[in-house]
Amino acid sequence: MINQSTTLDLTFQALADPARRAMLERLSTGPASVSELARPFSMSMPAVLQHLAVLETAGLTLSHKSGRVRTCEINPQALSTAQDWLAARRAEWEHRLDRLEAYLTELQNKDQGNG
């Protein structure tokens, strides 16, 4: 299953790194420049740029350059794609538990009828 990168792959992969999540946390409070995003980290500029590229490739952020400053912002739509996938799995699992419970209750009622 190597090298078949879907949107979800890129999204979750991007979210897997604490530095990138920290950048998203910062961006969720409002847009920021590259150097502003870099400030909290003891990390070289190229490293920061690579993280930002990962976020942007995954669609989690957007950016535009004005003069020599690149401003980044969060893209909430990509967040909800990931969120939706998680919600779907949970819903499916809980729906299954509900069906199971209903089935067991039904069995119990039949037993009572027959006993």
Partner DNA sequence: CGGATAGATAAGTCAACACTTAACTATGTG
Partner DNA sequence: CACATAGTTAAGTGTTGACTTATCTATCCG
Q: Which residues bind a second copy (CB under 8 A)?
A: 1, 4, 6, 8-9, 12-13, 15-19, 21, 24-25, 27-30, 41, 43, 74, 76, 79-80, 82-83, 85-90, 92-94, 96
Q: Which amino acid is at 19?
A: A
**Which of 53/107 has CB closer to DNA?**
53
Terminal Cα distance for the chain, rounded:
54
Query: How far, CA to CA in Å, does 7 sit from each of 30, 82, 113?
Result: 24, 9, 53
Q: Does 87 bind DNA (CB under 7 A)?
A: no
Q: Which of 81, 71, 23, 83 is nearest to 50 (CA)?
A: 23
Cβ at position 3, least distance to a second copy in Å: 10
Residue 74 three-state SS: strand
**Which of 9/106 has CB closer to DNA?**
9
Residue 91 three-state SS: helix
Residues in region 47-76 near DNA by CB under 7 A = 47, 49-52, 54, 65-70
DSSP classification of residue 47: H
Size of the site for DNA (CB under 7 A): 28
Contacts with DNA, residue ranges (CB under 7 A): 1-3, 13, 16-17, 19, 33-35, 38, 42-47, 49-52, 54, 65-70
